[in-house]
Each structure stands twice: as C-alpha cells, then as structure tokens.
Amino acid sequence: MASSGYSAPPPPVFSGEGYSIWSVKMKAYLKAFDLWEVTETGRQPGPLREDPTLAQLKAHSEECAKGFKALSCIHSAVSDVIFTRIMACETAKQAWDRLKEEFHGSESSKQMSVLNLRREFEVLKMKESETLKEYTDRLMSVVNKIRLLGGFHSVHKGRLTHSNMSVAVTKYLWGSKLTKKECVTGMKIISQLKHRNLLQLVGWCHEEGKFLLVYELLPNGSLDSHLFGNRTHLTCDMRYRITHGLASALVYLHEGLEQRLVHGDVKSSNIMLDSNFNAKLCDFGLARFMNQELVRQNAGLAEAEGYMAPEYISTGEANKESDVYGFGLVALEIATGRRVLDPIEDRPEMSLVEWVWDHYRNRTLGLAVDRRLNMDFDEKQMECLMIVGLWCAQPDHGSRPSIRQAIHVLNFDALLPNLPIN
C-alpha cells in the first residue's frame, strides 16, 4: 500500500468503544490509500477488453487487489475480540457493514436518534445563569452529535399535488442589514432566472425573517454523490457534458443578466444532475440577500473543503474570479474522481491541484484520470478538462481566464493555454 521508502502509519484500532470516532478516522485512513470506494461499495472492476495493453492489465490487477488490501486493513484495525465478529466476512464491505450494524445501531435506531437530537436542538434555550459561550458550546455539542450520525440536513423532500412534481424545500434567513423589501426584490430576481443548467426555483415564501425556497428535485442527486459515493458510474462523455453545463450556467450568471450575479459557492455538492445527467447549478445568487452569519459559516465550510479562492479567504468577498476558481477545482474533481482535499495515496503531502500540476509538468496527465473509467476515455477531452481546471484554479486571480474563455477551450474553439511549468 505504500511506495518505496515510505512507511505507512498503522491504522486506528477499534476495541469495541468509540465506534463513531474510529469509523471517521478509519474512513480517512482507507481514503489515503485509495481503498475507501471498494470498502463502501464492494464494487469490483469490470472485465478487461479484448487484447488489453500492458498498462490496462496492470491497472486491472491493481483494482482487483484493492478488495483484499481493504479487508486486510480492517482486520489489522480491530482488536482480537472484535476480529472474531468479522472473521467470516469475505469482503471489506461485508466487514465494514457488520461493524456498522453492530456498533453503530440499525438504521431505524439511528434515524430515531437523529430525530431526538434535532428536537433537542430546536428547543434548546439559553439559561439565565450561563454565558453566551456556554450556550453556544451546548448547541455545538448537539450539532456535532447529529453530524456524527449523518443527519444534519436542511433540505426536505416533498411533492406538489397539482403537478405531481417532486420538489426539495430548503430554509434560509435573510440578512439583518437588508430590509424585507430588498430581500423580496432579490428573491423575485432569482426566481426569474431561466437557464437549462440552473436548478429551477419553483416557488418561495417568506415569514418572520425566513425564506422557504422550493426547487425541482432531480432524480440523480448531486454530482459529488456520483464522483465520490456509490451512485451511478459517470462515463467520460457524461463528465465532459457536466463540466460544459456548469460553465454555461456561470457564463449566464456572470454575463447574461442585466444585474449580474456571482455564485460564491461553486462546488460539486451544489451541482445537481437530471435524469439525463445534465448539470443543474443550485444555490445561485443567494449570498447577497441572506443572513451574513450564515454566509460566513458557508464560506468557512467552503474553505475547510478546499473550494475557496485565496483572495476570497483574505477579503471575504466573492467575485467572478472566485467562481472561476471553484469551477476549476470541480473540473479537476470530475476528471480525476478525487476530492480537492483527499490525500493522494502515494503522495500524501500533495493537494489535488498540486498533484495534477505535477502530472502536467511530466506530461503524464493520462495517469491522473479517474481509474474507475478503466482506461475507457477520450484522451483529448480529459487532457482539456484538466488543463482548463488548472488554468482556472491558479492562486493568482489575475492569471485566471474568464468563464467564457474557459468554455471556448472546452468547445475546442480555442487552443489549450500554455500554463507556466513552475
């Protein structure tokens, strides 16, 4: 699992207590060695094509070996007593699911725990005897428990009876520095935006400082659930079309409106996919109208996830250039199948951007393409996708292209840029 000269750290050991913390640490450990996907999904590589090349044979063999490596990792990460519970499991997924079922509770009990914690959070009030910090600490304690159970969601599903349309309902607080009239005007502007690559805002209402936004609910969920989860495998053509759709949506927001808009939070979890796997950008145009404390919290999350442009971090102001930066990172995620901040198994000191830059310098971009494509991809498309991603994700905002320049290259209407090697 480790390259020559690199001694892999031992995995965290689970002895029967603190399963939630151990599972988070173990998941990160498996990701570091590119073993999490096979553990989570149990998916095995497909059959080889006829007359495979040596590179394809090697890649296929490595993919087959991952299942055994992942199971071995889990065996070495539990005590002897716990090992007896999973020794009959033949795959890493079976072992992981067995531990989860026994020590994390069944799904129904987990959902009940989340429900109880949500109720506790909603009724938690500040005591006269406690300070603001003490009250905040109690709130965050409940929030962290909900997060560990995977139940901290602000989106609720529903169905419109008159049209039988599935919808998603989410709640926002409007900004305290803005009047109700200003926020309502802003929402009217957003609700009038129409583009094939923007998620449709079906309706909205407001009451007591809150907006309820009703969006169309798309059957294929978010892009990140396909890139990093166990949902439908995305082909090379799908990935390229999704990237192009995202760029088209940003061109519309940046250049196609009388009152131009900045998204401010471009990332793979904010890109939804329709039944034909076309990209639909969501949460567009909301930042300027919403509660600024929540905007800062979202910005902090974006920074923690690695999507925030350097100048956005230093100034706190989103602009077209920071949207382009986020687009570049998403393009790299789409091409490589890796999250921005996930460690590279043989180069753990590198970020995704640094790793792709390294392949660009060495003219080995083909080796950075998502292995789940099993070498079945258009080299020209994937090279274009990664070079455009690097072009857009440059730390100096003045060196980035406009989103229109990027889409010209994606359309092959312009030449690939010559990026600096250093």
Q: What angle do CA 113, 115, 118 make, to 5 degrees?
A: 110
Token readout for 396 is 């100096």
Question: Residue 78 — φ and ψ, nearest 5°?
Answer: -130, 155
Q: Report the distance separating Cα 243 and Cα 171, nearest Å.
A: 28
Strands 210-216 and 201-207: antiparallel
**Contact between residue 320 and residue 402 where contact means Cβ atoms under 8 Å apart:** yes
Which residue is catalytic, options 34, 265, 283, 323?
Answer: 265
3-state secondary structure 133-174: HHHHHHHHHHHHHHHHCCCCCCEEEEEECCCCEEEEEEEEEE
Distance of alpha carbon 411 from the chain centroid: 25
Signed CA dihedral, 139, 142, 145, 147: sign only: negative
Residue-wise over 6-16: b if at least 16 C-beta within 10 A, else e?
A: eeeeebbebee
Token readout for 313 is 């971090």
Of 270, 316, 310, 314, the closest CA to residue 297 belongs to 316
Q: Report the distance separating Cα 286 and Cα 326, nearest Å.
A: 17
**Contact between residue 124 and residue 139 where contact means Cβ atoms under 8 Å apart:** yes
Residue with tokens 């169309």: 216
Of 77, 5, 80, 84, the closest CA to residue 35 belongs to 77
Q: Report the distance separating Cα 185 and Cα 281, nearest Å.
A: 21
Question: Active site includes 376?
Answer: no
CB neighbours of residue 305 within 10 Å: 16
**Which residue type does 9 have?**
P
Q: How far is CA 76 from CA 1, 174, 361, 418, in A?
A: 14, 50, 38, 47
**Contact between residue 14 and residue 49 where contact means Cβ atoms under 8 Å apart:** no
**Which positions are catalytic?**
265
